[in-house]
Structure 1
């Protein structure tokens, strides 16, 4: 085998491992245990992975069901959870590429895992989130940090400002803005989709002139969108409902407006 073949095999193995690691973050994402940078990376993966979307939906339903009834935890639960950390390893959802992924190591099952009731299930869900966040972050190692995307640079910028707007239905939109990067990122949570035949369009407003289009939002309730254009001198970010495909200038009043710090 040539050196070129060895390099390609190493790269393919690394890429497969990164995909495996991304799958394993579904538990942490479902319980909102990721920071902004991790969340942006995982959502990029989530858009193209139906298995992880199904996994996240299932975990959120489980967490919601467990949160309906207040239960006093047993006195020894914390000690049991800490004692059992080594026996629990978060695994990604099975995908069609599963046969190429590292096989999980079988470990002996601890007796305390068998019958401690609903609180154990809740504790295990949180434990999966914490362990997968700390143990399986492909970008947290020192080997090959990788180049950050424009979105990640904005979210991680020292001068990043966050402007949050909540909607009456409980959804939320957040603009993260960095003067040093000259860019802005929009994060949405549970946001209603645009009406049929319409798109949500983003706008940047400079001190002078008319608003400039910053792109269209994807048809997703939870999205991370890097606004198009130079935002270094922008004073305002807006979202309007426009005809399908967008408009050259806003044709409706903004459904959300974010005043950027000067």
Structure 2
């Protein structure tokens, strides 16, 4: 399977990422999960709104720790069909309109109780819902293997405007990944281009950065013995060799 195929599979698996807003709101994700969800959160206003609402509900419901009933997990799983992203179970059509008291409860008390239930469900079902669970059917992408490798080394460069770029290299994986935070876009008609240098001094193109302030990009080429990585501003579409001085440099053999 190629990296492209794995990326497509992972993207399909991430169709359920919205279900993790509750787990994120109560800090029930591990570091890799949190990083992935936060990357999704930047471009999903629906999830941002839901996380804000769940955090408010969790704060409102904060109590001293108590031992949950033994049947709590079973009851939650039994009612999982009512939880986003699965479609709700449609109840039979009522024979008559509810009285005024019941209608007032539905429009005032129900949203808060639903939010509270989602917080509880997030804690009980995170492992069941997460699309990247440690399972042979959902292998890590090349990017994820680099970021989680035991020998991953990180090299950071901060810019004057407060943004930064980080290169993560795994020699065992033979690949490198660049992560940017709040990076200004490339000038009109230009692209940010990535480069890798081998021990002989040859500098090879390693891909183009997307037009995003926060991006995670797997560099093209072999990084198993790369000594340097860089980012330059190049004409739209890139160049076979750098035509400008690097705006960011990373000495990888330090």
Could you tell me the TM-score, scaled by structure 1's length?
0.61
In the alignment, which residue of structure 2 is the partner of 1:227? 219
1:249 is displaced (CA, Å) by: 1.4
**How many correspondences in the alignment?**
214
In the alignment, which residue of structure 2 is the partner of 1:212? 204
Q: Deviations over 1:102-139 (max 9, x none)?
A: 22479xx9x79859xxxxx9x99998986775442122
CA distance in structure 2 between the partners assigned to 1:155 and 1:125 by the alignment: 30
In the alignment, which residue of structure 2 is the partner of 1:79? 64
1:175 matched to 2:171? The reply is no
CA distance in structure 1 between the partners assigned to 2:66 and 2:110 by the alignment: 9
In the alignment, which residue of structure 2 is the partner of 1:118? none
Unaligned runs of 5+ in 2: 1-9, 91-105
CA distance in structure 2 between the partners assigned to 1:77 and 1:184 by the alignment: 43
1:82 is displaced (CA, Å) by: 9.1
Change (3 A) 1:42 1:133: farther
Kept after mapping to 2: 8 A contact 1:27/1:56: no
SS in structure 1 of the partner of residue 64 of structure 2: helix
Unaligned runs of 5+ in 1: 1-14, 67-72, 93-101, 116-120
1:137 matched to 2:130? The reply is yes
Kept after mapping to 2: 8 A contact 1:174/1:186: yes
1:54 is displaced (CA, Å) by: 2.9
Kept after mapping to 1: 8 A contact 2:179/2:216: yes
For residue 199 of structure 1, the aligned residue among 151, 168, 191 is 191
CA distance in structure 2 between the partners assigned to 1:31 and 1:254 by the alignment: 41
CA distance in structure 2 between the partners assigned to 1:190 and 1:223 by the alignment: 9
Change (3 A) 1:189 1:27: farther
Q: Deviations over 1:130-165 (max 9, x none)?
A: 6775442122154x4423322122122111111222
1:183 is displaced (CA, Å) by: 0.5
In the alignment, which residue of structure 1 is the partner of 2:5? none
* Greater Rg by CA: 2
Kept after mapping to 1: 8 A contact 2:190/2:233: yes
Kept after mapping to 2: 8 A contact 1:40/1:152: no
In the alignment, which residue of structure 2 is the partner of 1:22? 17
In the alignment, which residue of structure 1 is the partner of 2:45? 54
Kept after mapping to 2: 8 A contact 1:22/1:42: no
